[in-house]
Amino acid sequence: MRGFFYFYIMNAQQLNQRKYDILQTFWGHSEFRDFQEEVIDSIIAGRDTLALLPTGGGKSLCYQLPALMLEGTCIVISPLLALMRDQVIQLKNIGIEAEYLSSELEENEEENIFLNCKNGITKLLYISPERIINQNFIKNIEEISVSFIAVDEAHCVSEWGQDFRPGYQKISLFRRDFKQVPCLALTATATPKVLEQIKLKLELKNPSVFHKSFRRNNLNIYHTEISDKYTRILEYLQYHPNSGIIYTQTRKEAEEMAYFLRKNNLKNVDFFHAGLPAKEKHRKQNIWLQSDQEVLVATNAFGMGIDKDNVRFVIHLSPPASIENYYQEIGRAGRDGGDSDTLLCWNEQELENFDKILMNQVPDKKSFINITSYLYSIFQIGDLDSSYATFELNISRIQNFTKNSTACIKNVLNFLHNQEIIFFKNQKTRSGLELIIQPEELDLLPKKDSWFVENLLRSIPGIHQHKVLFSEAAVSQKMGTEASVLKERLQEIHRKGIINYTDGAGATIKFLKPRNDRTLTYEYWPLFEVIQKNKLLKWEEMKYFIRDENFCKMKLILAYFGEKDLKNCGKCSVCQNQKEMIFGSNIDKCIIKILKSHPSGIEEISVKLQHYSKQKILESIIDLLDSGTIKMHDFRTYCLA
């Protein structure tokens, strides 16, 4: 018995050493972050595990490292293709065999991935939640040795989470085919209610739960109620030549803000959003990742899965839609533990405007039914009928008939898309083209049309066999014509039934399930209503968080995520103002301390004293001038007398 026990201890020691060797070899670290090791040990021991690790807590390592230690392939379920792609590239760069499955892969590429998994070469296979009902995937996964299942962004399983994804509901069914395979659920932002739903809906059996505190002691949380946001941000950047992120609500705002800052002599500033070509996005992202001074002005899609330690500030041009989103975004600052700023700019007018926008995009039951019914009717799909064609969608046509706003219609379309009832595309992609008639029928067409189709066959190989994705700009160059002229001709012969052409620049829709008005009314409407109420509730909570001047900002965040026994951070704008009220104003001392270092103007002083209003700083400067403590250095700056 003693010999067995000694052998077990030796194995445990060897296992532990191997864990640290892998950490050092592939990631270059000698120590784990909080809870990482405990989560990894739980998975290696074969237990279902739930880990709530805030942004920057190193969630991905919790499944990547045990995947290397265990036999077989780890299946990673992730909600975003871009996130999967980035992680696979990062893993391959450090020598780890990882792959992802997506609809953009060719059939032979997919088969090679499955073959590598079956042969035990691929250690991590990333898939979307929708992939688990794909018949080809199900057939192949039966021949693969699965080490464990990792569910990233697990809050998506709950309709009370901020990014509900119906595909996540099917994971529990998928798991039933792998009863002995442990499951690791990971999330960075989840309330106690969402955590309970994760356990329930993923059918986690007596899970080990690891919950790291959301407290970030190195973050200075500042809120500024201000009208002239551009000037405020410019002043901040002029005195903080560091790497950071400025978040905006729209692509247009991202471009305009970057242009404004460049115009004011800030050279290390660029913009980033989903509308950029892939090559351009990678270029901008790489410059930012490798710099300690580059600033990216970006929409909130930027930052997921990107590991950059030296982000010294995160600025919000406008408030995010929820505390979850806000915390996730500010969590991208100071991952190296260094002191970092987060600045949220807001004013009452935009809060009221966002109220109206939210209300404007939420239809009542009657409008929901009108939109969904008309959507099927315009493409002549009757109740219980189906269609497998891809249709071009004119949203203004639905708007004219239903009298609902564009935002309201898009909200319903996105919901139907998320429920996998339709496939709705509203972003620019490559166009699609397929020849409907047989090539031998070309001679029966008018000469003008037959000549044009022959040119298409030469310029876009394969369209007589299947649908081919192409770029109008590239084909028009080959054919020696303008892209707009080519598009007009394609639309013309599409109407004649010669080709099937889908314009990549326009919205398209494909119906994935037969029409069922009863299900839409009695099953999907109640779910839609819950999700909309949740959005409105989260916005109300965010408004309270922004406006409140009585409670520590970090304390409010921690309470929101269910933490107790809370202490004030002592650093946020509210804590600083409360110190001033209790101990008296020390603004004069702060200004004198700054001027001891070097002469400064009011802009620099106000940037360094974030929690004081510019007006209050100006009043204090006037008092210090009157008392002779400080004097004018030149017409713009002050110094000690």
Q: What pLDDT, in 10s, does the model give residues 61-86?
A: 999 999 999 999 999 999 887 788 88
pLDDT for 611: 65
Give yes or no for residue 278 having a pLDDT over 60: yes
Q: Tell me which residue of 532, 528, 575 sits closest to 552, measured CA to CA.
A: 575
Are 238 and 267 within 8 A, CB to CB?
no
pLDDT band at 347 (very low <50, low <70, confident <90, very high): very high
Residue type, 222: Y
Give yes or no for residue 6 having a pLDDT over 50: no
Alpha helix ranges (H) inside 185-338: 192-201, 229-238, 251-263, 278-290, 323-330
Q: Tell me which residue of 374, 169, 183, 332 sits closest to 247, measured CA to CA.
A: 332
DSSP string covering 232-267? HHHHHHHT--S-EEEEESSHHHHHHHHHHHHHTT--
Q: Both tokens of residue 340? A: 């970092």
pLDDT band at 108 (very low <50, low <70, confident <90, very high): confident
Give yes or no for residue 3 having a pLDDT over 60: no
pLDDT for 185: 96
Q: Both tokens of residue 531? A: 């999700």
pLDDT for 8: 47
Q: Where on the phi/psi map is residue 511: left (φ > 0), alpha (ψ -120 to 50), or beta?
A: beta
Give yes or no for residue 303 having a pLDDT over 60: yes
Give yes or no for residue 401 having a pLDDT over 80: yes
Query: Average pLDDT, whole number, for the chain?
Result: 87
Q: Where on the phi/psi map is residue 12: left (φ > 0), alpha (ψ -120 to 50), or beta?
A: alpha
Give the contacts of 326 (CB within 8 A, at least 6 positions apart): 316, 319, 320, 344, 542, 545
Q: Both tokens of residue 232? A: 């405020």
Distance CA 93, CA 26 (A): 10
Are 382 and 517 within 8 A, CB to CB?
no
Q: Higher confidence at residue 597 or residue 377?
A: 377
Give yes or no for residue 260 having a pLDDT over 80: yes
Distance CA 286, CA 280 (A): 10
pLDDT for 1: 37
Residue type, 30: S
- Which of the 8 DSSP states describes residue 335? T
Q: Count other Cβ atoms within 10 Å, centred on residue 148.
A: 24
The neighbouring-strand residues paired with 73 are 146
Mean pLDDT of 252-263: 94
Give yes or no for residue 4 having a pLDDT over 90: no
Are 429 and 81 within 8 A, CB to CB?
no
pLDDT for 212: 87
Q: Tell me which residue of 346, 538, 520 sits closest to 421, measured CA to CA.
A: 520
Digit-coded pLDDT (tens) for 480-516? 888 888 888 898 888 888 988 877 767 888 888 899 9
Predicted TM-score (pTM) of this structure: 0.77
pLDDT band at 44 (very low <50, low <70, confident <90, very high): very high
Q: Count other Cβ atoms within 10 Å, centred on residue 348.
A: 11
Select the highest-mean-pLDDT range: 305-314, 316-325, 562-571.
Answer: 316-325
Strands 468-470 vs 340-346: parallel, antiparallel or unpaired:
unpaired
Give the contacts of 441 (CB within 8 A, at least 6 positions apart): none
Mean pLDDT of 279-300: 89
Q: What values do phi and psi take at 219, rounded to 5? A: -100, 130
- Determine which of 70-79, 119-128, 255-264, 622-631 has the lowest per-residue pLDDT on average: 622-631
Q: Tell me which residue of 571, 544, 547 sits closest to 560, measured CA to CA.
A: 544
Percent of the chain with pLDDT over 70: 95
Are 66 and 15 within 8 A, CB to CB?
no
Q: Both tokens of residue 139? A: 């057939």
Give yes or no for residue 163 having a pLDDT over 90: no
Are 71 and 145 within 8 A, CB to CB?
yes
Digit-coded pLDDT (tens) for 559-614? 999 888 788 998 898 988 877 655 456 778 788 888 888 888 877 887 777 767 77
Q: Higher confidence at residue 592 or residue 183?
A: 183
The neighbouring-strand residues paired with 304 are none
- Determine which of 143-157, 216-230, 384-398, 540-554 has the lowest per-residue pLDDT on average: 384-398
pLDDT band at 204 (very low <50, low <70, confident <90, very high): very high
Give yes or no for residue 245 having a pLDDT over 60: yes
CB-based contacts of 55-60 (< 8 A; 24+ apart in sequence): 55/188, 55/189, 55/327, 55/328, 55/331, 55/332, 56/216, 56/331, 56/332, 56/334, 56/335, 57/33, 57/188, 57/212, 58/32, 58/33, 59/152, 59/186, 59/188, 60/87, 60/152, 60/305
pLDDT for 5: 45
pLDDT for 162: 66
